[in-house]
Structure 1
Amino acid sequence: MALNFNKAEFIRSASGRDSFLRDQQPQFAFAGRSNVGKSSVINRLVGRKNLCYVGNTPGKTNQINYFQIDGKAYLVDLPGYGYAKVSKTERERWGKLMDNYFQDDQGLISLGVLIVDIRHKPTADDITMHNWFRETGCPEIIVANKLDKLKKSQIELALELITNTLELTDEDRLIPFSAEKGIGKEDLIKAITYVHEN
């Protein structure tokens, strides 16, 4: 059954293992560094401007936020890793929260959506996240966001750099995306739906 991404609602924020959702519905986990535009990608997917909070300051997502799609699955907005104007203690708390989510013994994640900035080489943290999805066998989609910031002549080289840095194969799905313009939205919905149905 196809998912209607326009039917989206916020369910809860989790700040610890005891508040994770474990109701057996598929969870599509959105990961990426603090200022890569995770919340904007989710908002674009569901056709809403403010389902996810979008801040000018990186690191605004400090809990795991669950958004239910069509009553059948969850988009899970994870805290951004890397740069954020928060204390070391707070960053460590986020790290522990992420570790607990990824290592939960009920295998919560059905799909990983790794968002990278198309303008830059993927960071060491991006590589670590990608390798986790790959090593655990979790299906993954890589979204190269901020496509609108590049000239057309720059796109091919930028995607090649991401492909080489993450050592992607023909089996991997890499989707050029612009949360700003909506480019790639239908491709991402199709990719998520394919994983959901197979």
Structure 2
Amino acid sequence: MFGFLWGTSTGAFNIEGAWAEDGKGESIWDQFGHEGHVYMNQTTDVACDSYHKTSYDVYLLRGLHPQLYKFSISWPRIFPAGTNETIGFKAVVLDGVDLRGYTAWTLMDNFEWAVGFDERFGFYHVNYTDPTLPRLPKASARYYSQIISCNGRSDAHIDMKMLLTNHILTISYCFLMNSDTRHHTGTG
């Protein structure tokens, strides 16, 4: 479809920081780190502080002249308590980079679900009125396990939830947008 593209990528969780600012909710990674499950109790509360250094990051990205820039959008940054400031953060990234002739690709997942999201809307049916009933895989879990098996992976010895999480990027909510004419200013 596109041929080979040279590019670069970032993951929201890895670079943004500002973990509790402007209405951002807690992600499952935030919770995991804050509970002390990471080596030396490290967190990404600050990370690269890209949330506060967006203009500089855009400057650096422009200097790279990539054909492709893949970035993730942190669900808890937008939902459940997203504000105009958080939407504006991504708008600065998108509007600050000249996208003429580029392909912009964003993943709205990257294992950054809001706390409680995967339990409520994940790959398993859960009976909330009777928690003693077993969780049953949804059709999406079965479909996803087929994709994984087609990639030569076996789920016989691996917990299904771990396997699905590990490979979520395969069928992440990705939006591929050819941006040849978007943001065209008529210059350059």
TM-score range, shorter chain: 0.3 to 0.5
Which structure features the higher share of strand residues? 1
| TM-score (ref. length: structure 2) | 0.38
Q: Which structure is larger by alpha-carbon Rg, 1 or 2?
A: 2
| TM-score (ref. length: structure 1) | 0.36
